[in-house]
Structure 1
Amino acid sequence: MTTVTLEGLLVCRDADDAALVAELLPTHIALTRAEAGCLSFVVVATDDPLVWSVSERFSDPASFRSHQARVASSEWGAATASIERRYVVTGLDD
């Protein structure tokens, strides 16, 4: 099995976006860490108040894709859909 990793940045447009991320992030982290196949999930603020560092690791492509599907239909996914993501994903068979 291939481990899937995602590394990158969540880049907010303004302080309102950053406040939304800060408000919704604890629930998003808890739900993600409880998912089958989640090996690690870390999202932390950087020195730039509009930028968050994101690091995810899932046990296999199926669990990563399941996570992505859950997020797309979640409150987090809907509320943060317009926030820029600069992610690099490795371990997916394209």
Structure 2
Amino acid sequence: MTVTLKGHIEVPADRLEQIRAGLVDHIRLTRAEPGCLRFDVTEDPAIAGRFNVAEAFTDSDAFRAHQARAQASDWARISAGIPRDYRVTGLTD
């Protein structure tokens, strides 16, 4: 079953440039992961500092592998403490 994640992150103005720079590698690495069907992070044109996130992975194992890689990456350090509002569907035990 496909696993999807949709939501957003809220980036404070003083961290915008760091987040924008860090996203380049995070997006590239994630899209190269086995099982990644979609990974988009885009700045919201209407809400300053909001980045909309949309992900899709082939299954729960691929999604969990992504989460593990991301938590051990530079992205985790760069984005530490950034508020996130995500909804995940399709995740199974």
- Using structure 1 for the length normalisation, give the TM-score: 0.93
Equivalent AA in structure 1 for residue 43 of structure 2: A
Deviations 1:29-65 (A, max 9, x none): 0000000000010000002221000000000000000
Question: Which 4+ runs in 1 deviate beyond 6 A?
Answer: none
Question: 1:6·1:54 contact (CA, 8 Å) conserved in 2?
Answer: yes
Q: Give the aligned length.
A: 92
**Counterpart for residue 81 of structure 1:** 80
Percent of pairs with identical residues: 45
Whole-Å Cα distance in 2 between the matches of residues 91 and 18 of structure 1?
A: 31
Equivalent AA in structure 1 for residue 23 of structure 2: L
Equivalent AA in structure 2 for residue 8 of structure 1: G
- Asked if residue 64 in structure 1 is aligned to residue 63 in structure 2, the reply is yes
Structure 2 segments unaligned to the other structure (5+ residues)? none
Equivalent AA in structure 2 for residue 45 of structure 1: E
SS at match of 1:10: strand
- Using structure 2 for the length normalisation, give the TM-score: 0.94
